[in-house]
Structure formats: C-alpha cells, structure tokens
Amino acid sequence: MLELRVADVATPCAGVRSVTLVGDGPLPSYPPGAHVGLEWAPGRLNPYSLTPTPSPRGPTPRDLPPGLDPEEYHLSIALRPDGEGGSRRVHALAPGDRVRATPPRSSFPPVGTAAHHVLVAGGIGVTPVLAHAAWHAFWGNSFEVLLVQRPGVTPHAADLRALAGDRLARATDRTAVPALLDEALRGAPWNSHVYTCGPPGLIAAVAATARRAHWVADRVHAEPFVHAPATGTPFTAVLRRSGREVAVGAGESLLDALDRAGVAAPRLCRQGVCGECVTEVAAGRVEHRDTVLGDDERDGHMALCVSRAAVGETVELQL
C-alpha cells in the first residue's frame, strides 16, 4: 500500500470532489484508464480512476507522457450519499490528511494497435476517459469523445474540450445518445476500438450499438463505475489440491463460501479492486466482475471476492 498525503482538494461541480495526493517522492507510473484502490476504512477500498495532472494549458503537459513518473495523483469522486461510506470519506478529506491506496492498477487501457479510439463517458465515468484523451492528444492518436452528463453536473467537461476540441460531442439529454452512438460507431474507420465508462445502461447501449454496426466484441471495452454484486446463481467450486467441493449459494460470494468451509484464502478489499484474492483457475468458465484483472489475465484467473462461475459451470481452483 502507498502512504499518501492530501495536498489539495477542490469542488469542480456540485457533488464532485477532486483530490490531489502526494507521496514522499515520485509516485508509481500508470497507463491511461488505471485506478487506485483508496482505503476509506480499515480493509475497505474503493477504486477511483486517475486523471491527468492539470496544467495551465489543460490536463496534457506536453513534455512528459501523462502518467509517467507522476509527482501527484489526481482523483475526482462523485458523492454517493446512500453508499457504504467511501465517497463520503473522500468528500470530508482536507489538505494534510493521510490516506492509503494500492499502487495503480490497469484494467481499462487503450489498445495500441487501434486505428481510431471512440471514447464514451457517462457522468463521473469521465475520469478514465479524460486520461485516455490526454494520452491520445499527447501521442497524436486518432480519437473522438462522446460525453453524456446531466446539465449542471459536468466535471472535467472543460478539460475534455481542451484536449479534444471539435472531436468532443456532448449530450445532456439521454434521448440524443442513441443517434450520437450510431453516428460514431458506424462512421469509425476499420480497426477502431470503443471504450465506455459510465452507468450500466450506457455500457449496454454502446454494446448494443456496436453489435448492430457489426463490431467484433474484442473492439468493445467498458469499465463500470458501479460495483457489481458478489451474489448470483449458485455454483460449485472444486479445490484441486484437496479435492474438496464447495457449494456457493446465491446470496454469498465464493470467498464467503470458502470462509464457511474453513478454507483459508487471502483477501483485502472484498470488492474486486486490490487483487489480493486473485486465484488460478484450472478449469471452468468464469463470469468476471472485478476491476483488477486485465483482459490478458482473465484467462486462468479469478477474483474470489466478486467473480463467479459462469451460469451452469463448475470452477476448479488451484487451492
């Protein structure tokens, strides 16, 4: 865990708090779309996307790629009054306060071989998209952005405008979104990739539009900012080392079921954020619900705290 100090706080718009965190020196580098797990109570972490360092010319310093050897981490967090308490804790932070966070983890990176990048952000989902846009602007990549935000709640909209210029389309009325998505995906050149961060409805709308436009699934990427529940359809986990079978009920996580069976398994955040519980999967398809494993790590691994066997499957774990 990183020991960090709050250097500054700001309120870019109603209900959103921006926090600048520093360490004792340069902080670990991170790719666009990465997040840190911020500890808001002992052992409880929430994932928050890292946004680029603001500069007088906008959030894209021209001398260093965004995220390389940063002196500061910047987060923008929407207040969720009815949440478990993570966002309330962040909104109460003041300069000088100490916080702990995981090193950055990348689960939503740009694809280097893409010919063009279509970035779609809903609400506070603008944060990782801003990091993507800063990266593409820095390297001169081809990209465009669709930003969907409610009137008056527009964190980082001006920053995105500074980066994307006329490549930014904005919608404050949800009814305008389907046509804008359709236009962006049907008009995109061959080998474009689309990246969405926002509420489940927006992610589903992008996926549906991509399907209709005959995009292959590999070119459609998403990062939900609402935690997936750890519960779902019952399944069985087979523990390879002992040969034991553990039944996982509908209302519990795999980690809960292992605890109940007396099987020791590492864990920290219990939210699919920190990676502590990631375990090798020897057989069986997994429904991944974490935000820690990259696409290339998902084959053969699962986060025990949130992910489950795909419906009708049994998973065999190297436990």
The stretch near ligand FES (CB under 6 A) out of 60-68, 125-133, 239-247, 263-271 is 263-271
The stretch near ligand FES (CB under 6 A) out of 10-18, 26-34, 171-179, 272-280 is 272-280
Q: How far is the CB of 153 from ligand FES (least distance, A)?
A: 30
- Asked if 272 is part of the footprint of ligand FES (rule: CB under 6 A), the reply reads yes
Looking at 269, 302, 309, 319, which residue binds ligand FES (CB under 6 A)? 269
Joined together, the tokens standing for residue 89 give: 């804790």
The stretch near ligand FES (CB under 6 A) out of 51-59, 150-158, 269-277, 309-317 is 269-277
- Asked if 101 is part of the footprint of ligand FES (rule: CB under 6 A), the reply reads no
The stretch near ligand FES (CB under 6 A) out of 70-78, 116-124, 209-217, 264-272 is 264-272
Closest CB to ligand FES among residues 72, 256: 256
Closest CB to ligand FES among residues 129, 274: 274
Q: Which residues contact 146 (CB under 8 A, 6 or more apart)?
A: 118, 119, 120, 121, 169, 170, 171, 177, 180, 181, 184
Interface with ligand FES: number of residues (CB under 6 A): 14
Q: Are 211 and 219 in contact (CB under 8 A)?
A: no
Closest CB to ligand FES among residues 194, 230: 230
Closest CB to ligand FES among residues 53, 279: 279
- Asked if 268 is part of the footprint of ligand FES (rule: CB under 6 A), the reply reads yes
Q: Which residues contact 251 (CB under 8 A, 6 or more apart)?
A: 231
Looking at 121, 137, 202, 277, which residue binds ligand FES (CB under 6 A)? 277
Residues forming the site for ligand FES (CB under 6 A): 267-270, 272-277, 290, 292, 303, 305
